[in-house]
């Protein structure tokens, strides 16, 4: 099922366990690029399958449906229906640098299998953020390591596992969230590192992963380069595009986060004007969806070309025997297997 000729630059959340008639009517009218699910949308596998089918029915095509299924603290699909995972940083530390990439590839191949089984085909992972001793706890154990090499290898493995499972990876948080000492859900973090230091560490991680099909911006000020949050700053979006070289579809982090100023429509307009392709609104509050719909505009040809490239990366999953993948994953966790 091909995409519509017209799409609007939104990824929308919805309120509950099923699509309401009002939501269906709004989604059909606005034609957002895609959707995102949260714990409030998850009860059991059959319910999630019905919800993802209902969202796609509302827009009339196989729109991508995303989730934040990192494992660990950010785990929208958990027990009793799905596996519980270690936080990524804890897992990488447990297996050691020689086995980390293989462990992460297997882990996210299994996660992809879970997601595709219920109609979800996009995951907001991998993380390209480098952890530091001062990284805010809301982010730190979601990272893959404290070195550039470990983060890049593990992030590449995560993306490979997701793509093999038919799930689009979303690289986050460009150009780097690891130095933030504040929670961007609540306030605007400011990073004081020099431009030179950022270029050989944080930015370098994303440059090494710049071929991935989708990415997510960071709501962070990099004081050596700008005085605005990267998501709404043309200077930083140009750096992401030209210096880091990211050519994929660029979405914002959630517009609901308090790092950004202004109303939701103002935040969306600022991000699009800065050069983001898509704005992400996760809460699914209907009045706020309606407010964002009031600024609806069609995606431009440049963004639509990035949409097409991203959708081309969404493929039929490679066939696996799940029990065999689980067995290898457990063996790697126990130190009984080498990198594949």
Catalytic amino acids? 185, 253
For residue 170, give the 3-state DSSP assignment: strand
CA–CA gap between residue 108 and residue 85 (Å, rounded)? 11
CA–CA gap between residue 319 and residue 145 (Å, rounded)? 30
| Residue showing tokens 């447990």 | 94
Buried b / exposed e across 215-242, counting CB within 10 Å, b at 16+?
Answer: bbbbbbbbeebeebbbbbbeebbebbee
Using CA atoms in the order 189, 193, 196, 198, what is the torsion angle rounded to 10 degrees?
A: -40
Q: What is the DSSP letter of 127?
A: B
As beta bridge partners, residue 281 has: 12
C-alpha closest to that of 152 among 176, 168, 183: 176
Using CA atoms in the order 195, 197, 203, 209, what is the torsion angle rounded to 10 degrees?
A: 150
Report DSSP letters for 50-116, one per residue. Answer: HHHHHHHHHHTS---EEE-EEETTEESS-TTTS-----HHHHHHHH-HHHHHHHHHHHHHHHHHHHH
Pairing of strands 278-281, 69-71: unpaired
């Amino acid at each position: 099922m091909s995409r519509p000729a017209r799409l609007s630059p939104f990824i929308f959340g919805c309120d509950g366990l099923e699509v309401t008639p009002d939501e269906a009517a709004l989604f059909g009218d606005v034609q957002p690029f895609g959707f995102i699910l949260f714990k409030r949308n998850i009860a059991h596998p059959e319910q999630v399958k019905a919800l993802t089918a209902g969202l796609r029915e509302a827009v009339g095509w196989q729109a991508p449906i995303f989730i934040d299924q990192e494992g660990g603290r950010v785990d929208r699909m958990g027990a009793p229906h799905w596996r519980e995972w270690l936080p990524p940083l804890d897992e990488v530390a447990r297996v050691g640098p020689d086995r980390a990439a293989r462990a992460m590839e297997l882990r996210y191949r299994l996660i992809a299998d879970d997601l595709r089984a219920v109609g979800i085909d996009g995951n907001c992972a991998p993380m390209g953020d480098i952890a530091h001793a001062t990284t805010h706890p809301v982010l730190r154990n979601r990272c893959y390591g404290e070195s550039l090499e470990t983060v890049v290898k593990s992030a590449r493995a995560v993306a490979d596992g997701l793509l093999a499972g038919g799930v689009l990876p979303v690289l986050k948080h460009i150009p780097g969230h690891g130095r933030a000492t504040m929670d961007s859900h609540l306030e605007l973090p400011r990073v004081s590192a020099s431009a030179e230091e950022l270029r050989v560490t944080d930015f370098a991680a994303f440059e090494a992963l710049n071929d991935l099909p989708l990415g997510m911006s960071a709501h962070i000020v990099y004081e050596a380069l700008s005085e605005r949050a990267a998501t709404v700053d043309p200077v930083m979006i140009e750096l992401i595009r030209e210096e880091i070289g990211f050519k994929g579809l660029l979405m914002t982090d959630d517009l609901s986060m308090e790092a950004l100023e202004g109303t939701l429509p103002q935040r969306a307009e600022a991000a699009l004007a800065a050069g983001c392709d898509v704005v992400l609104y996760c809460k699914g509050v209907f009045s706020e969806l309606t407010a964002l719909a009031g600024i609806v505009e069609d995606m431009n040809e440049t963004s639509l070309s990035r949409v097409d490239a991203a959708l081309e990366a969404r493929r039929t999953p490679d066939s696996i025997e799940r029990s065999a993948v689980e067995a290898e994953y457990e063996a790697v966790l126990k130190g009984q297997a080498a990198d594949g």
